[in-house]
Structure 1
Amino acid sequence: MEKIVYKVCIITHTHLSRNPRVLKEALALIEAGYEVYLLNSVYSKVLVAADLALLNGFPIYIEHISDLSKNDFRSFFDRALKKVGNLLIKYFKWETCYALGYAPQRYISISKKIKADLYICHQELPLYVGANLVKSGLNVAFDIEDWHAEDLLREAVLLRPIKLLRHLEAFALENGRYSTTTSEALAKQLSIRYHVQQPNVIYNSFQVDQQILQIEKQIKLPIKLVWYSLNIGKGRGLEEFIEILNRLNVNVELHLIGEIEPLYKREIQKLIDRGFDVFFYPPVPTTQMEKTLSKFDVGLAIELHQPKNREFTITNKFFQYVQSGLPIIATNTVGQQEVFKLFNPGILIDFNKPDEAALAKWLNNPHAIKNAKANSHKMANAYDWKTQKINLLNLVKYALS
């Protein structure tokens, strides 16, 4: 009897090289024997090349629904509709799907033509696409990888379709074949807000490389603190952390990885008044991230308590540090406390009431940092992507049953 090969279609609106969660999902599905399709939008030919390199030859069918790297009529039309969607919110408070992303109707049309056995929708625009697919009787799951309706600071909310996002999140959580999110804390908040069953949790972890964890590295002064993101900018906790460092009697360096505007770079440099050095690096390719981070001493998982998404989620960054073998300085958001307190891989700080004496004592104690590093290794193994992958594949199996 011939084995049935199920077709799974992943819908996203960004590049794989900019969303490791989607990449890990796609590779897990293809390795498990599913036929995998992926729909996304293109913003850069360079990023398309990076996406293909990350797939490493795996037979995943990718279709670019909107290609904004081209200067043709279709990309012009997609941009125009998106701009109209933004202007309708700004001047008339009229929220439409065109404010969520590019080419929503084309996403829906092409999704239906694929005739997948299961669709998995990520991010804002795919919430809208998935809701339409559900209403058409198709089998759809949703990954609420961020609390999109609560992911902006107050000044930016006025230009976003917040009511539409809330409606779509509620619909996804109630009507998806299954739904997932990034932490138990966020799952609980989504359940309370939308009066639905808690979504399942798939942590943003990575596959452990034991060779990296086993690297023996002595803590030498100055202690090298590292923070990374695609973009280095305001509202990420850097200013608050630098102000704390300015008041500490510790011998440290601050290393920042990511794209940064020259104006903000100067602002960061002006904030430093204690004389420690800050170093800036361009973004690091996904495949080199763990090796790069392992060269530093301590990872900075410094998140603000606002917006609410930052309070309750656990980002890729947190697990990337741990699985690069680093101890962590982490702010005490509810999401990060959820996993931090189980293993104690470093020290928690509170931006509202920073215990500067405790932080200075920890940074000046190589033995404490070494113990935290050992705890970090235990945590890395506990949250190995191999374990999270099993949870994901069980959900997909359930959805196809």
Structure 2
Amino acid sequence: MENNLNNIKAHIVLVTSGQPTLNPRLVKEADALVSAGYQVTVIYQHWNAWGTKYDTGLLAKKAWRCIRVGGATNEKRSVYLLSRIIHKAGNIVAKYFGFGLGAAELALGRCTILLYKEALKHPADLYIAHNLAALPAVVKAAKKARAKCGFDMEDYHRNEVHDNPKEFDVRLKTYIEEKYIPLTNYLTASSKHIAYNYQLIFPSKKIVPILNVFPKNQHEQNIKTGSTLKLFWFSQSVGLNRGIEDVLRALKLLEPAAIEFHILGQLTIPVKEALAQIIKTLEFLCQPAIFYHDPIHPDSLIQFASQFDIGLALETGFSINNKMALSNKIFTYINAGLAIIATDTPAQKYLIDKYPLIGKLYKPDDHAALSIIVRNYIDHPTLLKDTRQAAYQAGQAALNWETERSKFLAVVTNTLSN
């Protein structure tokens, strides 16, 4: 929206307690705002080493300004260590003495206070928070600058880790949400289920779902048929109890079918050893073809994924948030043109029911059902080809950032003009 006083586009500051490479949703929003003519500043903090590695190349190509606070493990280490000490102290105070006097904000995130102090240095017309630990910083900065603020609820934060309302994490995040969300000028959410559940808590707020989709695939789909079926799963980090065990047990049932299982993400030695132990326990007739891939640049992920046949969206439903989430994982597969096999969580069921030709569902932990779905694709290669084409077409027609981008920019325009 044009500023009526000086005919210059508004300045918008996005604040995250993560970092750009690890938050493609923030990057897409920042790019969209710049392309719409806004001045954009992104303020973030260090999260991990491989994210920092790829941030360097990512940020060099962006037209928006980016500022990191709180140091890192290999730069401004004293600031980083001090922020960790303060964060841990905040946790102790909040656990044993309550959330008042700023203890909740200190306990919430390592850099919440530093994000706020940096945001104050950049007067803006609109401040947008990504991740809950950025919300207090954005609300306070907006109040100080007499500006507006928004919050993108990528998760159902109060139940990200636990569902038990007595758990410290649940109580802390609930306190922060109820303190700061009422003070925002707009809210977006990453799925209809997350938006609906927050709407029940904050009925006076309008919450707009903005899906975790990606720009339309600029490459023509090339489905190469081969004798080996290739399964693909990825995440920022590889962990246990995230559905991978279902796949390993299904592979045992599918012996001796020619199947490759590709896993991409940051993999620690203990997790790799634990997976190896599961494989050993299953007593495969032949060693299964499992390939581990290091994290890659986000811009390369969809093209990398397109070499596989089936994308695995294996949410386990361990928390309310996990049941309601539509992660960028499932939309990456759709954009890359992979057949989808997804666990039957409410949000993923809603998506597959709406686009039934793009894949199949199975109940979490039901590895026998998973093996039947995979076997059906092996036995019916035409079905696999048709499913992949349907997924690709869904990404080109509706499930893409071009569609969601217009919704996001409409929210920003309406907020600034209200």
Q: Distance in 1 between matches of 2:205 and 2:246?
A: 36
Supply the AA of the counterpart residue of 1:343.
Answer: Y
- Choose which of 327, 331, 338 in structure 2 pairs with 1:315: 327
Partner of 2:391 in structure 1? 376
Partner of 2:82 in structure 1? 77
Query: What is the Cα deviation at residue 216 of structure 1?
Result: 3.3
Partner of 1:305 in structure 2? 317
Query: What is the Cα deviation at residue 145 of structure 1?
Result: 0.7
Moved more, 336-345 or 82-91: 82-91
Moved more, 20-29 or 173-182: 173-182
Change (3 A) 1:187 1:365: same
> Is contact 1:222-1:251 (8 Å) kept?
yes
Listed as ranges, the gaps of 5+ residues in structure 1 are none
1:26 aligns with 2:30: yes
Q: Secondary structure at the match of 1:247?
A: helix
Query: What is the Cα deviation at residue 297 of structure 1?
Result: 1.2
Correspondences of 1:275-290 after superposition (within 5 Å): 275=286, 276-290=288-302
Q: Distance in 2 between matches of 1:23 and 1:282?
A: 22
> Is contact 1:208-1:384 (8 Å) kept?
yes
TM-score, normalisation: structure 2: 0.87
Partner of 2:363 in structure 1? 350
Query: What is the Cα deviation at residue 25 of structure 1?
Result: 0.7
Partner of 1:148 in structure 2? 157
Supply the AA of the counterpart residue of 2:173.
Answer: L
Q: Secondary structure at the match of 2:8?
A: coil
Q: Distance in 2 between matches of 1:391 and 1:318?
A: 20
Q: How big is each residue's C-alpha offset from its partner over 1:351-372, in whole Å with a ceiling of 9 and x where there is no partner?
A: 2555353442234321111111
Q: Distance in 2 between matches of 1:394 and 1:341?
A: 28
Partner of 2:416 in structure 1? 400
> Is contact 1:142-1:172 (8 Å) kept?
no
Partner of 1:292 in structure 2? 304
1:68 aligns with 2:79: no
Query: What is the Cα deviation at residue 28 of structure 1?
Result: 0.8
Moved more, 242-251 or 111-120: 242-251
Q: How big is each residue's C-alpha offset from its partner over 1:264-322, in whole Å with a ceiling of 9 and x where there is no partner?
A: 21221232333432111111111211111111111111111111111101001110111
Query: What is the Cα deviation at residue 56 of structure 1?
Result: 4.7
Q: How big is each residue's C-alpha offset from its partner over 1:208-259, in whole Å with a ceiling of 9 and x where there is no partner?
A: 2231x422321x2321101011110023111133223322354312111111
- Choose which of 381, 394, 405 in structure 2 pairs with 1:389: 405
- Choose which of 75, 100, 104 in structure 1 pairs with 2:108: 100
Partner of 2:216 in structure 1? 208
Query: What is the Cα deviation at residue 135 of structure 1?
Result: 5.0
Moved more, 358-367 or 258-267: 358-367
Q: Distance in 2 between matches of 1:226 and 1:279?
A: 10
> Is contact 2:105-2:112 (8 Å) kept?
yes
Identity over the aligned pairs, expressed in percent? 25
Q: Distance in 1 between matches of 2:50 and 2:359?
A: 37
> Is contact 1:173-1:196 (8 Å) kept?
no
- Choose which of 150, 153, 169 in structure 1 pairs with 2:177: 169
1:124 aligns with 2:104: no
Change (3 A) 1:228 1:44: closer
Q: Distance in 2 between matches of 1:72 and 1:245?
A: 45
Query: What is the Cα deviation at residue 81 of structure 1?
Result: 0.2
**C-alpha RMSD of matched pairs (Å):** 2.5
Moved more, 5-14 or 62-71: 62-71
Change (3 A) 1:49 1:303: closer
> Is contact 1:11-1:126 (8 Å) kept?
yes
- Choose which of 4, 12, 16 in structure 2 pairs with 1:12: 16
Query: What is the Cα deviation at residue 175 of structure 1?
Result: 3.2
> Is contact 1:347-1:359 (8 Å) kept?
no
Partner of 1:87 in structure 2? 92
Q: How big is each residue's C-alpha offset from its partner over 1:28-82, in whole Å with a ceiling of 9 and x where there is no partner?
A: 1111110001111124676445224224533312222211233454333212101
Partner of 1:236 in structure 2? 242
Q: Secondary structure at the match of 1:217?
A: coil
Moved more, 98-107 or 375-384: 98-107
Query: What is the Cα deviation at residue 172 of structure 1?
Result: 4.8
Change (3 A) 1:325 1:116: same
Aligned length: 398
> Is contact 2:106-2:113 (8 Å) kept?
no
Change (3 A) 1:44 1:371: closer
Supply the AA of the counterpart residue of 1:149.
Answer: R
Change (3 A) 1:254 1:130: same
Listed as ranges, the gaps of 5+ residues in structure 2 are none
